[in-house]
Homo-oligomer: A and B are copies of this chain.
Amino acid sequence: MDIGEVSKTSGLPASTLRYYEEKGLIRSSGRNGLRRLFNTDVIEQLALISLGRNAGFSLDEIGEMFTDDGLEINRQLLLEKADELDKKIKELTSMRNGLRHAAACSAPSHLECPKFRRLLHIAGKNRSRKSSSLTKNAGKQR
């Protein structure tokens, strides 16, 4: 299939596909003249990449997790990433509970509500870079 079809079925713009290829995250199986040709399984690889991005991994991290062709992988690394996700899941869960409580709580200021304040201590050390995909615009193709 050529890039237009991959784009349509994956929902990703062609420019992104070229970019991913350049970064080594996907591969085109060859060329028809100057046009890239892709195998159908690139669709699944792209799904995997999307999933990883959505989970907050950088393209580089994803690249490390799933190398080139058949997904020969570093099991140790995967387990580490799974542990990171576990931690993150706990944080998000607290945050979600905190938000639900804040929406219901009647304390004059949330900073005075003990339940809410407890949430703050989860924050503490967890400083880090970059943020995550909770933006809701899903299928936008210019």
Interface set of A (CB-CB < 8 Å, partner B) = 11-12, 41, 44-45, 47-48, 50-58, 61, 65-66, 70-71, 73, 75-76, 78-79, 81-82, 84-86, 88-89, 91-93, 95-96, 98-100, 102-104, 108-111, 117, 119-139
Contact = CB atoms under 8 A, between A and B. Distances in A.
Contacts of A54: 91, 95, 123, 126, 128
A128 B119 contact: no
A47 B12 contact: no
Interface centre among A45, A110, A125, A139 (most CB of B within 10 A): A110
B103 A78 contact: yes
A131 B57 contact: yes
Contact of A130 (B51, B55, B133): B133
A141 to B, nearest CB: 10
Contacts of A75: 102-104
What are the 10 closest A-B residue pairs judged by CB atoms, nearest first?
A56-B132, A132-B132, A85-B96, A47-B123, A128-B133, A82-B99, A51-B123, A78-B103, A75-B103, A70-B109
A127 B65 CA distance: 20
